[in-house]
Amino acid sequence: MAVAAENQSQPPQNDLPDVLILKPPTAFSIFGDHFFHSPKFQFLKPFESPLPLPQFLLTHAQSVQAILTSASGSVTADTIRLLPRLGLVVTTSQGINHIDLSECRRRGIAVAGAGTIFSTDCADSAVGLLLDVLRKVSAANRYVKQGLWSTQGNYPLGYKLGGKQVGIVGLGSIGTEVAKRLEAFPCSISYNSRSKKPSVPYTFYPNVVELAVNCDALIICCALTDETHHLIGKEVLSALGKDGVIINIARGPIIDEKELVQCLIKREIRGAGLDVFEHEPDVPVELLALDNVVMSPHNAVCTTESLEELRKTVVGNFEAFFSNEPLLTPVPLDDRPHSSVAR
């Protein structure tokens, strides 16, 4: 073990710049750790080392010039301060709440994200979840597979999507794509964000409770920030009402999950479509038995096509940085809007 640790602590014996991966991104588990390979840089993988992470970081502190992270891998001020040559953080997500942007700004460290790569896939999933909840697709599928159709008769009817009043919380790139899709059904669209967007024809509500009162369904597309944590709580869910549906393809903690569970159990809202949860990968056990809840494992962004686009973007950002060229998808380090995309 001592020999292995010693070997792991030695810097790679070539001149390629080092990119630190704090935690393997999802793409590694699907395609392998060669997915983001480039001849212009090399990865350091502390998760493959027997060294404790703090010791690994100290060992390689002078060589790390960039970090690759994902939504599940936090880049904290403490980590950044251990890396004096760090110049770039690239995340595979659209959401950036897991990166200490203030410290990056203070240190002059650039940040790059996934841009709008996932916007269309997230929008597709959001509308799919809404359709599933309203038309009871997943629940009816289970009914048929359990052999209940022939013994208990027809399954209860669902509800149409066309003509519904749908509120979007966060009209960024994902929210805008959701609205475009819902227009085709057609649905009446309204939204909440930090400010009214003069370029869109949808009704604006400055207050989420007011938005919920005037909607049949709420779709959560906003970023997770201190301001939006538990933005959707008892008051909003009560305003949505017993015929209301909530969809979340943003981040789990935007909804107060305990309140949501109780509202669903008591049928105080009609149903929910959830791609994200407050304590992933743990899901409240109460939700597993509810036919008015449709769930997916935080994969609204994951399609073969979008991950290939992500590969090109991530590699392109690193290669641009190490060639002293403009980043492909830079993240502004000024005050972040609270109604932007959140994956």
Confidence of residue 103 (pLDDT cuts 50, 70, 90): very high
Task: Centre a 10 Å sphere on the Cβ of residue 309 and count the other Cβ atoms it contains.
Answer: 16
Confidence of residue 15 (pLDDT cuts 50, 70, 90): confident
What phi, psi does 160 have (nearest 5°)?
-75, 150
Confidence of residue 71 (pLDDT cuts 50, 70, 90): confident
251 is catalytic: yes
pLDDT tens per residue across span 256-275: 999 999 999 999 999 999 99
Confidence of residue 1 (pLDDT cuts 50, 70, 90): very low
On the question of pLDDT at 341 being above 70, the answer is no
CA distance 134 to 160: 7
User: Half-sphere exposure (CA, 13 Å, Cβ side) for 178?
Assistant: 37
Residues whose CB is less than 8 angstroms from the CB of residue 108 and which lie 6 or more positions away in sequence, other chains included: 87
Query: Of the residues 270, 298, 338, 343, which is catalytic?
Result: 298
Please, what is the average pLDDT of the chain?
Answer: 91
Between 33 and 204, where is the model more confident? 204
On the question of pLDDT at 336 being above 90, the answer is no
The per-residue pLDDT for 3 is 37
pLDDT average, residue stretch 29-38:
87
Q: Report the candidate in 224, 182, 221, 194 with the shortest Cα–Cα distance to residue 301.
A: 221
CA distance 258 to 237: 12
The per-residue pLDDT for 5 is 41
pLDDT tens per residue across span 75-97: 999 999 999 999 999 999 888 88
The per-residue pLDDT for 220 is 98
The per-residue pLDDT for 9 is 41
The per-residue pLDDT for 29 is 80
CA distance 301 to 130: 16
Task: Centre a 10 Å sphere on the Cβ of residue 42 and count the other Cβ atoms it contains.
Answer: 15
Between 281 and 10, where is the model more confident? 281
pTM of the model: 0.83
280 is catalytic: yes
Do residues 192 and 212 lie in contact, with contact meaning Cβ atoms separated by under 8 Å? no
Query: Of the residues 280, 308, 309, 319, which is catalytic?
Result: 280
Q: CA-CA distances (angstroms) from residue 53 to 44, 67, 80, 92, 152?
A: 12, 14, 13, 21, 57
Query: Of the residues 251, 270, 338, 343, which is catalytic?
Result: 251
Confidence of residue 150 (pLDDT cuts 50, 70, 90): very high
338 is catalytic: no
pLDDT average, residue stretch 225-249:
96
pLDDT average, residue stretch 91-119:
92
Confidence of residue 333 (pLDDT cuts 50, 70, 90): confident
